[in-house]
Structure 1
Amino acid sequence: METKNEDSHTPAQGFEDEKVEETIPLEESKKTRRCKCYPPRGKLNEFITFVVLLAFLWIVIWSYVGKEVYPGGSLFGMLVIFNFALLGGRLIQFIKIPSVPPLPPLLGMLLAGFVVRNTPIIRDYAQISQVWSSYLRNTALTIILVRAGLGLDPQALEKLKGVCLRLSIGPCCIEACSAAIFSHFIMKFPWLWGFLLGFVLGAVSPAVVVPAMLMLQEQGYGVKKGIPTLLIAASSFDDILAITGFNSFLSITFTAAPVYKNIFRGVYEAVIGVTGGILMGYFIRYFPSNDQTTLAWKRAFLLLGSSITAVIGSSRLGLHGSGGLGAIVLTFVSSLGWKDEKKERVQQIVANLWIIFQPLLFGLVGAEVSVANLESNTIGICVATLGLSLLVRIIVTFLLVSFTGFSFKEKVFVALSWIPKATVQAVLGPLALEESRSKNLPQFEAYAKNVMTMAFLAILITAPNGALLIGLVGPKALSLDSPEEA
């Protein structure tokens, strides 16, 4: 019986021992779980990851180029301007006014570059060579041209071809001529430099106009008469004309040949650009074929690669008027044969690339303007020339849309919408200064610096004011229609 009792007691005792053995690790695991530290998540994790990625990027680049990534090197300066420009663009986005389109981030990027250049300690370390700056701006110009070519809507152009053509050509040419006249008498510019300046100022900015028009179109303002569509389409043509005119006068200004030879050369370069663009455009339309994988990426790479080759390669060959025109033509011709959804994928890839180059472009332009090098009366005469040219542009734009069936308020709105300047001015503004430095023509540097100062002031004054005017005047001047009527 005792054995039996012992036997009966043993399993119970064993069970209790087993239970104790199980509870001890459980309690220890709870303590361990309380003491264990988990890695951060959310915004903190994102920030740490971003910092580490930047650090590794810096180390990888240092492995290739060495001292260029140290303070004072071009890559270090580019990184400083890029980050300052990004910060400036983000800060501008915090300024919000009810019922008004948001201020364009490019304004903050421009001011950030200006701060970098004119803050002594930062300026000493954030320096970029002229060669690097030139290539970066030319690449940004190429992306602008590709986006303009992809943004051209053949159906909208067919529907509004008469008024679109007038609005694309008239204001740009008239403002270029008026700026040439005013700069000649106010700023004492030679006539060629006056027209070169005029085509810098003559371009409207799609970066400001297009988002504002899309916002009005989504709300149903002016949709029935197609006013937002008209302005979006015309802004691309306006830029093409300004870039072509500028390149022609840049070639004439820096060439010692007679004027008639320069005019013939300009026509010759335009023919080369259009012909090359059509041929390359038809090639990209059919190669790669629709049955291939990663089709959008291949098309985007071919578009950007051929356009960059056209813009930078033509400049290296001395054919300044061919590159930009060729890039626009090849982009437009190739996209005509693509389906809408596939075209939109290519547009998205190019737009993502623009996110990187936009801060660099406007930051570099802002960094070219030095307060120390500005003469006391320079800003005053630049603002006077810009103001008079803008006044002429507004009046001419109003007259050109007077026979289109628009009401008086709608004509006023279209005229005021044609004020903003930004992207083309940022690209073209420094080119004359680069050309005078590369060809060692110090007698032209004073004019070139004034051209760049005018470009800077044009962006600073017209971009925010233009966006505000569109947002304030649009809902009051345009009829409220259904968005489906577009």
Structure 2
Amino acid sequence: MNEDDRLLVRIACVGGAGDTIMSLSAQSTPVINIDKLTKEDGFPKKKSWISSKTPTIFHYITLIILGALTWGYLWYTWGDSWGVKGQWFRLAIVAIIAWVSGLILQETTTLPPALAALLTGILARHLGFVDMRAFPHVDTFLRRIYPVIILGKGSLAWDVSFMKQNWKQILALGALPWSTEVVLVAVCTHFLLDLPWIWGFLLGSIYASVSCPVVMPPVLKHGKNAGGKVNWPQFICTAGGIDTALSVGTFGLIFSYMFYETHEGYRLVKAILALPVGVALGVAFGSLAKYVPNSKDTYVTELRVLFVLAGGLFGNVFTASIGWGGTGGVAVLACNATAATHWSKKGWKLNQNPAATVYRVLWSACEPALFAYTGTFFVVHSSISDTMLIGLGILLICLTVRLTVASLACWNLTLKQKIFVCCAWTPKTIVEAVLCPTAISAVLMSGGHESPDLVYAEELMRLIVQAILVTTPIGFLLTNNLGPMLLNNNQSDCENNTFTPRKSSASPENSRL
């Protein structure tokens, strides 16, 4: 066999082997019948509705049992006041109905449950079921707890390093729209509703507060899909925190000036030092949380939560009792933000730690009661139509100017992003609900049932409730529905790139409020 013949033989052998391999490959390919797939084949079966809802059903069954046991204990311990016709039972049942109605509203429409709770309180008042005016001391006590929970919950998510690096933008967005609206509210109410200047500024300090927790769920959802360098959850919640601190501090300052008699010189000292003292106390106590309790303590988790919670409650009550209203709320913000920063260096992620979980659970319990009890202060009668109509005009004027200033304060953002910020800066909800009835309770406890101050406090209450009912659903729906369109683009988020990249420890996943 010559060389050419041997080459032909080798080619034939290789070709035969290739045919064999191709044949084997073709034979080994399985034929999958999609109709016969089972979980064992690697494709899990779709769960039934009952299976998917079983944990939720048992969750609510557990809550019902716990609620019934608690009520039974209170009834047998304190007697008829906790019976079915008792006054305390009525307070509790209104809060429970507010909670249930809020869940239903949220599940059916995605709107914030606070709206249903507020309407529940208004309805309970007009059916004669509950009126918190009959319990001014109870209401005042509760309204010293609410701020500690909501302010502490929000500030646990703050990334202090992000705030330091972007302080100009955060301070501008937090302070400029707020300051403008406070002055505008005071001017409008003075000339249109004849409110005294002091009452106008008291109203403005509440009215101008933005409610970031209402829009944070859509901000978190859409912020994850937004390109660029803007850390949207941190930007919104920290700028909103500045706004909230100004509202709480200024309201407390004006409220103390109006309802606590003291020397004029001392009032001036409080006016100058209230906010700085609150920040200093909060930072000092939050820094102490770095060392107390020790990170190796067996009960470090429980003690850390109790440390900041008890400190916030005591600080808020103590400062209010000595006439330094507002200082305690600012201290809570500074304390929890400082403590969370130190804890993050020891392994606790910002807003994803046991302390944040406890605050979220506490707020879930407090929120329906807060809005329901606030609603019971709102009295509907024929003579309020003029006030509400003028109030709607004031709301439109103030909101327009506020959002214009907010867009100007975001000088480094694109037009779409400025619109998104304006959507998030629309709701007036939580701080308004916490603070608006305090003036009524203070006047009633001082015996001023026929005082002109009660009339002014009623006007303040009506205007704020109107603002809550109008701006909360609008702001939430705009942020939720326009968010994908406004943030989902390939352009640079920041024209001058002044924002820090999204590698902050408070990324969207770690910034949940």
Question: Fold match, TM over 0.5?
Answer: yes
Task: Work out whether residues 212 and 236 of structure 2, in 8 Å CA contact, stay in contact via their aligned partners in 1.
Answer: no
Aligned to 2:90: 77
1:153-302 alignment, distance < 5 Å: 153-218=159-224, 220-221=225-226, 223-255=228-260, 261-302=266-307
**Structure 2 stretches lacking a partner, 5+ long:** 1-53, 492-500, 508-513
In 2, the alpha carbon distance for the partners of 1:248 and 1:374 equals 32
Task: Work out whether residues 136 and 445 of structure 2, in 8 Å CA contact, stay in contact via their aligned partners in 1.
Answer: no
Task: Work out whether residues 184 and 190 of structure 1, in 8 Å CA contact, stay in contact via their aligned partners in 2.
Answer: yes
Aligned to 1:443: 452
1:45-444 alignment, distance < 5 Å: 50-71=63-84, 73-96=86-109, 102-120=110-128, 122-123=129-130, 129-218=135-224, 220-221=225-226, 223-255=228-260, 261-339=266-344, 341=348, 344-372=353-381, 375-401=384-410, 403-404=411-412, 406-441=413-448, 442-444=451-453
Specify which of 476, 479, 488 is matched with residue 467 of structure 1: 476
In 1, the alpha carbon distance for the partners of 2:239 and 2:102 equals 26
Q: 1:328 to 1:112 in 2, by over 3 A?
A: same
In 2, the alpha carbon distance for the partners of 1:188 and 1:144 equals 33
C-alpha deviation, 1:123, in angstroms: 4.1
The amino acid of 1:420's aligned partner reads: P
Task: Work out whether residues 74 and 127 of structure 1, in 8 Å CA contact, stay in contact via their aligned partners in 2.
Answer: no
C-alpha deviation, 1:44, in angstroms: 8.0
Task: Work out whether residues 133 and 377 of structure 2, in 8 Å CA contact, stay in contact via their aligned partners in 1.
Answer: no
Q: Which moved more, 1:258-267 or 1:284-293?
A: 258-267
Q: Deviations over 1:92-121 (max 9, x none)?
A: 11334xxxxx3111111111111211224x
Q: Deviations over 1:245-304 (max 9, x none)?
A: 111111223355686653322224334433332332222221111011232221111111
The amino acid of 1:109's aligned partner reads: A
The SS at the match of 1:425 is helix
**Structure 1 stretches lacking a partner, 5+ long:** 1-40, 97-101
Q: Deviations over 1:350-388 (max 9, x none)?
A: 111111111111111112212148623121122222221
| Sequence identity percentage | 27
- RMSD of aligned residue pairs (Cα, Å): 2.6
The amino acid of 2:414's aligned partner reads: S
In 1, the alpha carbon distance for the partners of 2:452 and 2:133 equals 25
Matched, 1:453 2:462: yes
In 2, the alpha carbon distance for the partners of 1:60 and 1:468 equals 42
Task: Work out whether residues 89 and 108 of structure 1, in 8 Å CA contact, stay in contact via their aligned partners in 2.
Answer: yes
Q: Deviations over 1:285-335 (max 9, x none)?
A: 211110112322211111111101111222222221321122222222222
Task: Work out whether residues 193 and 253 of structure 1, in 8 Å CA contact, stay in contact via their aligned partners in 2.
Answer: no
Q: Which moved more, 1:272-281 or 1:107-116?
A: 272-281
Aligned to 1:37: none
The amino acid of 1:398's aligned partner reads: S
C-alpha deviation, 1:127, in angstroms: 8.6
TM-score between both structures, scaled by the size of structure 1: 0.83
Q: 1:222 to 1:435 in 2, by over 3 A?
A: farther
Q: 1:159 to 1:322 in 2, by over 3 A?
A: closer
Q: 1:72 to 1:177 in 2, by over 3 A?
A: farther
C-alpha deviation, 1:63, in angstroms: 3.2
Q: How many residues align?
A: 436
The SS at the match of 1:376 is helix
Q: Deviations over 1:419-476 (max 9, x none)?
A: 1111101111111112222223322111111112222111111111001111232222
Q: Which moved more, 1:318-327 or 1:344-353?
A: 318-327
The SS at the match of 2:290 is helix
Q: Deviations over 1:36-69 (max 9, x none)?
A: xxxxx98887776654433321121123322321
Task: Work out whether residues 179 and 195 of structure 1, in 8 Å CA contact, stay in contact via their aligned partners in 2.
Answer: yes
The amino acid of 1:214's aligned partner reads: L
Task: Work out whether residues 175 and 202 of structure 1, in 8 Å CA contact, stay in contact via their aligned partners in 2.
Answer: yes
The amino acid of 1:69's aligned partner reads: W
